[in-house]
């Protein structure tokens, strides 16, 4: 899995756009094809346009994050360090310290807003379940939301521990 993440971090932006578009649109079309009554040519067009918009937004976000982190290589090194908990030998404190602080603030915010968002979506799933609209999908949505809420807390805690460890590793170099 680590090799996949490393590959994705180093992917050029046009290839990243294509990968996200094909993956997102493919999954959406497979799910739409499961409901044969709804599967029409207009739905395919809507899914393709939605995939283009989603891939464009995600690619723009990744480009912005890479630029802010100091480039694709530094961005990939930062993600690798956050996965492993070890700084690379050539980590520049003037680049890494502000980015680690940004990542820390982002994780803290996601630990607050993630459960709120998934809680609201879970309530919508409960409302759909109570109204009898797609019982199986409603139960699946509720289960996914509960899982994402738990994941947000667990992954957020792990990320904070790793970020704090990386900041401590960076401090002796800063002196």
* pLDDT above 70: percentage of residues in the chain: 97
Contact 163, 82 (CB under 8 A): yes
- The radius of gyration of the chain's CA atoms, rounded to the nearest angstrom, is 20
For the chain, the farthest-separated pair of C-alpha atoms sits apart, in whole angstroms, at: 66
What is the C-alpha to C-alpha distance for residues 153 and 144, in angstroms, rounded to an integer? 14
Residue count of the chain: 175
What is the pLDDT, as a whole number, of residue 175?
45
Write the CB contacts of 57 (distance below 8 Å, at least 6 apart in sequence): none
Cα–Cα distances in Å, from 69 out to 66, 120, 127, 140, 171? 5, 32, 42, 37, 19
pLDDT of residue 28: 87
Give the tens place of pLDDT for each residue, 92-114.
888 889 989 999 999 999 999 99
**Three-state secondary structure call for residue 155:** helix
Under 8 Å CB-to-CB from 64, ≥6 apart: which residues?
Answer: none
DSSP 19-79: HHHHHHHHHHHHHHHHSTTT--HHHHHHHHHHHHHHHHHHHHHHHHHHHHHTSHHHHHHHH
Which of the pair, 122 or 4, is modelled with greater confidence?
Answer: 122
What is the reported pLDDT for 35? Answer: 73
Q: Rounded distance, CA 83 to CA 5, Å?
A: 10
Evaluate if pTM is beyond 0.95.
no
The H or E element containing residue 175 is: none
29-85: pLDDT as tens digits: 888 888 777 778 888 899 999 999 999 999 999 999 889 888 888 888 888 898 888
Nearest to 73 by CA among 91, 59, 49: 91
């Amino acid at each position: 899995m680590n090799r996949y993440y490393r590959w994705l971090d180093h992917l050029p932006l046009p290839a990243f756009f294509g990968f996200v578009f094909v993956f997102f649109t493919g999954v959406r079309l497979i799910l739409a094809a499961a409901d044969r009554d709804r599967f029409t040519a207009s739905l395919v067009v809507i899914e393709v346009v939605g995939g283009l918009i989603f891939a464009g937004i995600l690619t723009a976000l990744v480009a912005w994050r890479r630029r802010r982190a100091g480039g694709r290589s530094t961005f990939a090194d930062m993600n690798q360090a956050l996965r492993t908990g070890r700084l690379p030998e050539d980590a520049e404190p003037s680049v890494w310290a502000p980015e680690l602080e940004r990542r820390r603030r982002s994780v803290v915010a996601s630990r607050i807003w993630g459960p709120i968002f998934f809680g609201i979506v879970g309530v919508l799933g409960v409302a759909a379940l109570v109204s009898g609209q797609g019982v199986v999908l409603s139960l699946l949505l509720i289960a996914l939301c509960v899982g994402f809420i738990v994941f947000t807390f667990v992954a957020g805690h792990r990320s904070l521990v790793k970020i704090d460890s990386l900041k401590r590793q960076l401090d002796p170099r800063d002196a």
